[in-house]
Amino acid sequence: MPHQDLHWTLDSELLDRYVLRKLEVNERAKLDAHLRECEQCAQNVRAEQKLVAGVRSLGRDQLKARLGKRLGREESRRISWTQAVGIAAAVVFLVSIGIYNRWFFPRETEQAISDLHPKETTPAEPAEKVLPNAMREEMKTREPRPEGVALAPRPGIPSSTSPSGVGERERQPSIALEMDRSKESQIAPLSVGKGAALRRESQPTGGYGMVSTMAEKTSRERWVEGVILPVETQATTKDEMTAARAEKSLESARARKMDADALARESAASQVIRLGNEMQIVTLGQRSVAALPRVQQEQRQRSRQRIQAFVETTDRGLRMTLYLEELVPESRLQTARIEPVTEDSLILHFGEQRVGFNIPGGWGEHTGKNLRKTK
């Protein structure tokens, strides 16, 4: 043990623990007994105790100084009572003057001041006459007419010469009639200009009907859900299977021959689908489900039997990006077969799975027309 030496105070760690009272009772009693016998160790202990006390007092003094500075700054920011009373008195005085001038100012003085500064009298503009909705619509479509030309009476509205309309016309001032004429001459050219502008905006911009508006872009890009369909296991005869294969081969050869140029611009995962007079180039792609947006992630959590897909209609056809849990080789995408069922539904034969998709707006409404023009 360190305290069993001749002078245990030479051990700085043991000395610190003794002064800071971090020793057990028995060990501290042994050290106290040694201090009563050794004057050198007692002096070392007293010096260490003075050092610790000085450090503590220095910390307290510095803390007091910081607190004093902070309290001094807080006191300097406060407003004295005398200043607050003066501000309140000024506010009350101003409010009292305003109330007195508002309610108790003599009317005679106001009249005298108004007599000293007479106002220039200007003729009051006649108020705009309130017209019925039917008359407003007619005024918008009416062409400006030269002065002095009388208008033909409208059916259903009494004229100024009829007995029922004499009193009404007499009650209307002549100034209102002049305002009607000026408004008609201003509204008619404005309505004509607006109609021409609307007609120019509604004209097509050329091409194959491509419109670069946000609504069109939204309708050409959409999220769809594919439903996993059960695999058909119906037994077929050998002749039926042979006939079906021959028919599919004939259709594939005819599609490759008619759309060779269109397919040359697409990747190997593209194919042409047909249904009646509609046809479309469909390109398949794949991405991981981790790339799905938050809304589609929540929909996928609610139904695990569905496949999320992003459908985009471009100038080259319909592109479907499938979001799968495990990405498949590209060869599997190339061998996938797309079967059109109706004008807005498809069945994707994907390996051993059959997935049905419903395409809002149809799958052949845009590019099918373009393909017919390029033949």
Tokens representing 125 are 């503009």
282-320 pLDDT, tens per residue? 888 889 888 889 888 888 888 777 888 899 888 878 888
Distance, in Å, from the CA atom of 58 to the CA atom of 80, rounded to the nearest integer, reads: 35
Any idea what the Cα angle at residue 109 is, between residues 103 and 112, rounded to 5°?
145
pLDDT in single tens digits along all 375 residues of the chain: 444 456 788 888 888 888 888 888 888 888 888 888 888 888 888 888 888 888 887 777 787 788 878 777 766 666 678 888 889 999 999 999 988 888 876 665 666 666 666 555 555 554 445 555 656 666 655 555 544 444 444 444 444 444 444 444 444 444 445 555 554 554 444 444 444 444 444 444 444 444 444 545 555 788 888 888 876 554 456 666 677 677 666 666 665 555 444 444 444 478 888 877 778 888 888 898 888 898 888 888 887 778 888 998 888 788 889 898 888 887 777 788 888 888 888 888 877 788 888 888 787 754 444 444 433
Kindly state the DSSP code that residue 289 receives in the 8-state scheme: G
The residue among 223, 225, 220, 224 whose CA lies nearest residue 313 is: 220
Pairing of the two strands 278-288 and 306-314: unpaired
Which tokens belong to 356? 């049905």
Q: Is 145 left (phi over 0), alpha (psi -120 to 50) or beta?
A: beta
- C-alpha 226/C-alpha 310 separation (Å) is 10
Cα–Cα distance, 280 to 263 (Å, whole number): 11
CA dist 367 and 316 (Å) reads 7
Q: For tokens 């849990």, what's the residue?
A: 325
